[in-house]
């Protein structure tokens, strides 16, 4: 492998820049050429590509977002689009790709591999919904951002004896919601992985807790279970407590990455290039505990991840 291309794809996540930096610098250190591909697979198809040097990735480790921009590319989902992308790689002498993104982006890697372009995937998403990895780039920052926002919300919720229903991101996964709920002391956290009953899990709990003297409440709902506004309306109707909905939205995707995101992204980016140097292709990098691991792309895409049920049970016990 003499030249590698690096791109970010799907939703952006804080720490992607640290990964780009690590991939670029590790590859340059080993004498490879690095091409930065802009706006995901779109850039590959359209030739929106620039050569990178060690200084191209200066001043980005502490920045959220992605210096390479990101996009969703419909054309790339077609065989014709994939062929165009592979032809572009051959035209520019790109021997392998490092793709930072989520599951959809890894499916794209598989398709590129089928077109004869070796790929390595790095898990970058705030949702933490990549099965082969305990941890994804951006997850830690997003949780910390959510906690910071909800701490502010708590002040006003408390002053008014209100209930705040806060919708946090996570797509169809509840990892972000569950951990945030624990960290902000939410009375209840609703996540897609665990069935719930509003009367039993929220109304009853609010009434019971009210009898112990508590007058304000924070309820976290993962976006995968429904809209915060709908829950707030039902809760107010059933409890008589003034309830307000807050949707944290895209602030969760931004901001300076935490130490954990910077370090993990750096380790994973470094590992991706090591794999290419070792001739190990078409793999997805991840973490298991403190270790950096990698799996065949197909195997990685077929893996399943489940919510930490003990953590969920604990969150209920300590929030009464």
Q: Is 103 in the site for ligand ATP (CB under 6 A)?
A: yes
CB of residue 8 to ligand ATP, shortest distance in Å? 9
CB of 41 to ligand ATP, least distance (A): 4
Rounded Cα distance, 55 and 72, in Å: 28
d(CA 6, CA 32): 12
According to CB under 6 A, which residues from 82 to 101 bind ligand ATP?
101
Q: How far is the CB of 139 from ligand ATP (least distance, A)?
A: 11
B/e letters for 175-212, b = 16+ CB within 10 Å, e = fewer, are: bbbbbbbbbbebbbbbbbbbeeeeeebbbebbeebeee
The window from 5-13, 31-39, 86-94, 298-306 that contacts ligand ATP (CB under 6 A) reads 5-13
Give 190-193's long-range contacts (Cβ < 8 A, gap of 24+): 190/219, 190/220, 190/221, 190/222, 190/225, 190/226, 190/231, 191/222, 191/224, 191/225, 191/307, 191/312, 192/222, 192/224, 192/225, 193/306, 193/307
Residue 266 CA, chain-centre distance (Å), reads: 16
Contact 137, 261 (CB under 8 A): yes
Q: Residue 163 Cβ, how far from ligand ATP at the closest point, in Å?
A: 31
Question: How many chain residues bind ligand ATP (CB under 6 A)?
Answer: 18
The two beta strands, 217-222 and 163-168, are parallel
* x/- track of binding to ligand ATP for residues 22-61 (CB under 6 A): -------------------x--------------------
Stretch near ligand ATP under the rule CB under 6 A, chosen from 7-15, 22-30, 153-161, 268-276:
7-15
The least distance separating ligand ATP from the CB of residue 92, rounded to whole angstroms, comes to 19
Report the alpha-carbon angle 311-129-46, nearest 5.
160
Select the residue interacting with ligand ATP from 4, 7, 9, 222 (CB under 6 A).
Answer: 9
Interface pick for ligand ATP out of 108, 181, 224, 286 (rule CB under 6 A): 108
> Any contact of residue 73 with ligand ATP (CB under 6 A)?
yes
Of these, 125, 179, 189, 282, which contacts ligand ATP (CB under 6 A)? Answer: 125
Residues designated catalytic = 127
Contacts with ligand ATP by CB under 6 A lie at 9-11, 41, 72-73, 76-77, 101-105, 107-108, 111, 125, 127
């Amino acid at each position: 492998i003499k030249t590698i291309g690096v791109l970010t794809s799907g939703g952006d996540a804080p720490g992607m820049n640290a990964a780009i930096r690590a991939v670029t610098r590790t590859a340059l250190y080993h004498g490879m050429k690095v091409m930065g591909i802009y706006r995901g697979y779109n850039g590959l198809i359209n030739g929106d590509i620039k050569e990178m040097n060690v200084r191209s990735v200066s001043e980005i480790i502490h920045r959220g977002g992605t210096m390479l921009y990101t996009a969703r590319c419909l054309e790339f989902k077609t065989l014709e689009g994939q062929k165009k992308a592979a032809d572009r790689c051959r035209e520019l002498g790109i021997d392998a790709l490092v793709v930072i993104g989520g599951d959809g982006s890894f499916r794209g890697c598989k398709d590129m591999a089928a077109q004869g372009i070796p790929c390595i995937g790095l898990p970058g998403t705030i949702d933490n919904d990549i099965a082969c990895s305990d941890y994804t780039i951006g997850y830690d920052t997003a949780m910390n951002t959510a906690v910071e926002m909800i701490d502010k919300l708590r002040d006003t919720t408390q002053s008014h004896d209100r209930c705040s229903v806060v919708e946090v991101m996570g797509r169809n996964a509840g990892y972000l919601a569950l951990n945030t709920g624990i960290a902000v002391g939410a009375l209840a956290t609703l996540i897609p992985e665990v069935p719930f009953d509003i009367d039993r899990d929220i109304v009853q709990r609010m009434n019971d807790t009210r009898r112990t003297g508590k007058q304000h409440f924070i309820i976290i709902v993962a976006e995968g279970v429904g809209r915060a506004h709908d829950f707030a309306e039902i809760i107010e109707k059933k409890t008589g407590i003034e309830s307000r909905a807050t949707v944290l939205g895209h602030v969760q995707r931004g901001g300076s990455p935490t130490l954990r995101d910077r370090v993990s992204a750096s380790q994973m980016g470094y590992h991706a290039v090591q794999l290419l140097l070792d001739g190990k292709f078409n793999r997805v990098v991840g973490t298991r505990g403190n270790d950096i691991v990698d799996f065949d792309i197909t195997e990685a895409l077929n893996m399943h991840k489940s919510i930490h049920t003990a953590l969920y049970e604990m969150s209920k016990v300590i929030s009464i």
